[in-house]
């Protein structure tokens, strides 16, 4: 039991020390990748971007191995952290390397998991914006030069917005396998985010209605309590008056023999 406790504390300490650095690396990776895709880099600039990407991948790989080593039981941690495995195991598929940005989502989710509902809504909106941008980058790299409609970052952003909202005007359609895979992931992500926002809004409405009903019931209960207390006070005064009247009345003389 003591060993399990030590393992758990060690893993918590590791997460506490690495969460924000990994999130920073994920954002740095996103900047380098954006620079590479949008700027069509070559030469030294491209090598710098790739160095930043590989440094981030190495950090995620080390974090995954250490976290797996500290986990107990390891198998349960393994199949509940498949996204972390994908972040490490897909460095070759270039558009899918943006899964590393999921590290930032993971950190923010842990930080706002117990926060107020309003913060969760703000987080969901930020996550939707980041998801749109990430999907646009992945789609642009997958579709560029293959004769599709997505050939600029503007086209990619437009496509990502109409896809995540499930509007699908049909003016921008992926023509590559990777592009279609990104579209599927984006559609599922959009459905999930809409579900989170809808559930949060429904929970807020139910809570407000419940609070109003409870406040009304409390007011009615307080009014009934005041009325009952007033009746008790009136009965007490009445009993006191009768008691005083009985005490002041002359004693009844016994009849003559």
Which has the closest alpha carbon to 173: 186, 159, 161, 191?
A: 159
* Beta strand residue intervals within the chain, DSSP E: none
To the nearest 10 degrees (0 to 180), the angle between helices 44-70 and 82-89 is 150
pLDDT digits (tens, 9 = 90+) for 198-218: 776 677 777 777 877 777 788
Q: How far is CA 147 from CA 155, 164, 169, 176, in A?
A: 13, 23, 19, 10
* 137, 141, 142, 146: CA torsion to nearest 10: 130
Q: How far apart are CA 150 and CA 140, in angstroms?
A: 6
pLDDT above 70 as % of the chain: 75
Domain ranges within the chain, ordered by starting residue: 1-105
Q: How far apart are CA 156 and CA 144, in angstroms?
A: 10
Sign of CA pseudo-dihedral 61, 65, 68, 70: negative
Do 164 and 135 form a contact (C-beta atoms < 8 A)? yes
Do 132 and 160 form a contact (C-beta atoms < 8 A)? yes
The predicted model scores a pTM of 0.60
pLDDT digits (tens, 9 = 90+) for 151-203: 899 999 999 999 888 787 878 889 988 889 888 888 888 887 777 767 766 77
């Amino acid at each position: 039991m003591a060993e399990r406790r030590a393992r758990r504390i060690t893993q918590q300490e590791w997460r506490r020390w690495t969460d924000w650095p990994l999130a920073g690396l994920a954002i740095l990776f996103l900047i380098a990748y954006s620079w590479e895709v949008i700027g069509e880099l070559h030469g030294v600039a491209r090598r710098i971007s790739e160095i930043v990407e590989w440094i981030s991948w190495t950090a995620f790989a080390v974090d995954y191995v250490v976290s797996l080593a500290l986990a107990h039981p390891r198998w349960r941690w393994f199949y509940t952290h498949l996204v972390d495995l994908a972040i490490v195991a897909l460095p070759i598929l270039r558009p899918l390397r943006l899964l590393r940005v999921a590290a930032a989502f993971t950190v923010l989710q842990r930080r706002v998991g117990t926060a107020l509902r309003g913060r969760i809504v703000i987080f969901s909106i930020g996550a939707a914006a980041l998801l749109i941008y990430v999907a646009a980058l992945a789609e642009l790299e997958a579709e560029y030069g293959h004769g599709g409609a997505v050939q600029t970052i503007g086209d990619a952003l437009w496509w990502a917005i109409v896809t995540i909202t499930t509007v699908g005007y049909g003016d921008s359609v992926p023509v590559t396998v990777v592009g279609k895979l990104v579209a599927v992931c984006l559609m599922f992500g959009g459905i999930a985010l809409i579900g989170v926002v809808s559930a949060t809004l429904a929970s807020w409405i139910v809570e407000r209605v419940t609070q109003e009903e409870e406040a009304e019931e409390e007011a009615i209960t307080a009014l009934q309590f005041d009325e009952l207390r007033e009746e008790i006070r009136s009965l007490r005064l009445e009993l006191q008056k009768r008691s005083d009247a009985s005490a002041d009345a002359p004693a009844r003389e016994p009849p003559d023999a």
